Chains A and B, each alone.
Chain A
Amino acid sequence: MGLVTPGFGLIFWTTLSFLIVLFLLRKMAWGPILKSLKEREDSIEGALQSAEKAKEEMEKLQSSNEALLREARDERDLLLKEARATKDAIVGEAKLKAKEEADRIISEARTAIENEKMAAITELKAEVANISLDIAEKLLRKELSGDAGQQELVDNMLSKVKLN
């Protein structure tokens, strides 16, 4: 029976010492131990999270880098295209202008030639008239130096005149 009869002294000492142990260990051991364990776990958790974040950021950076590169390439292409267009436009305009200029010069030249030609013709005509008059004068002088000649002329002219 003694085996299952709790002794008063042992109950007293167990209660007292367990309470003291619980109180002291809570204050001096469990508190600091659990706190440091939690802190360590938190710091590991934090480190893992920040590593994950860094990885994500790296990826983001990489993708943004790529985007930037792509953008740069696109812009370069655009610039090239624009430059080409500008060049084409300039060249086209220049050609057009040159053609216009050429046309103008040609037409001006043509006009000038025409004018010159007309002037030359007019002059030639006047000269021809003068020469003809001279010839005619000389011919007349020669022809009309005799009476026969003068008569013939008059006859001739009269024959052409129609009297109606």
Chain B
Amino acid sequence: MNDQIRKVGLALLVCFVALFAQLNWLQLFGADRLEANPNNTRAIIRDFGRDRGIIATADGVIVARSVEVEDNELGRERQYPEGDLYAHITGAQTFNFGATGVEAVYNDLLAGQTDQQKYGDLGALLGGQDPTGNLQLTVRDDVQRVAREALGDRNGSVVVLDPRDGSMIAMWSFPSYDPNLVSTIDLDAATEAWDELRAQDPTAPDLPKAYRQTFPPGSTFKVVTGSAGLASGVATPTDPVFAASSGYTPPLTTSTIANFGGSTCGGDLAQALRVSCNTAFAELGAEYLGPELMIGQAQAFGFDEPPPIDLPVPVASHFPTDFGAVLSPSTENPDVSIVENTPGLAQASIGQNDVTSTPLQMALVAAAVANGGVIMKPHVMDEIRNRDGELVDEYEPTVWKVALRRGDADTMQRLMIDVATSGTATGLQIPGFTVGGKTGTAQTFADTDDTHAWIIGFAGPPGEPATVAVAVIVEAEPGQGQITGGTVAAPIAQQVLAAALQPLEGVSAIEGEGEEQGG
């Protein structure tokens, strides 16, 4: 019998060794694969179940919060009290579809999962509380509301930022959506809402068009072309003087670029910008500046590169980088070459052809002009504090691009102030402030008369650097015909500029009570 008993022992030992081997696979060698499995919602449940910091505007309005839910394995639900107003900024934290917006970019900080928060906060560590981070946006609720109100139910975007440090003051696109529908812990309802959104792709309302969709910028791009002229020394506000014309035919083609409404215009750079003269800017770009200077200036403003905003997957705006082989020197400027696609360059110089831009990028063009040529990194996060109000992280203003020398930027600023004073952008005027702008009426790619209405601009106290820059697009609607920046987009931009120029009211929602804050 003893022999058999020993063998039973041996058999059991073998069985347990098999268990041990499998455990090593599950817990050690194969663990990474299991953790990465798409069915593994532990990390999501972890962040759902755990407390998560609030997201609040600069003026103290809570736009995202975690609410405890009774009798649910998820424990907490993420709610967005302002509905669609901040959907494109906060994004949504969903159970089945990941997170978007600020919720995605600052997930670890909101959930308190950074090493700094986990191990640096001794109080939380010993107190057992989750060291969550409360996030304050640079966005102002008052301005954001004005943007939504002013745009109304027209498809379009409004982007407002502080050119001095890149803080986003408002960012609104219509249509938007209610993130609560996809963040709900009623997972069936969330899935249904999500499927409904995806059925509307690629124009689903959860697309943050302000930084994810590009449009032909039209005449607002003349600011870039004009800047190229000033920066290269090829043009000054008063020289060259373009002959008055109703149509410009670039070299190598017979098709003519006309002015808006078939009008006749010309004159120097200041005059051409003031009335948004297509023939003058097309000629300036094609024959005075040429591909190299135009590409260089567009890229100096940030084209062909996604802007480094702290939101997920911003798209790059586009300026063509190849206009074909060199053919001959230009008759207007011997340093400049006529190339195979000079006709395309002529159109690109007035923001048509293959030029496309996000509303954010055009706002950055205005910001560059307003800020002495320097583009600051755009950002929506202002600062993150722990539940006691102690600072965890804050945004350090950082230079993204130097688009222009200060002198050239100031010159362009003057020209744009002219446009708002006596040109196409007079609708921007705000009593008591200095305002500059540039309108745009962009043909869509479709073969219709429908146009996008654009405006970019900036404003500030007289004699001081501008404190606000703006870009507004009201998208073309099929069959609506031409809508111009000056009549449709300017009033919207004027309202948000005026709102943003008002001093910030309200108090921070994330600074703790009873904690000493150095101011």
Instruction: Tell me, yes or no, whether A binds B.
Output: no
A residues lining the B interface (CB < 8 Å): none
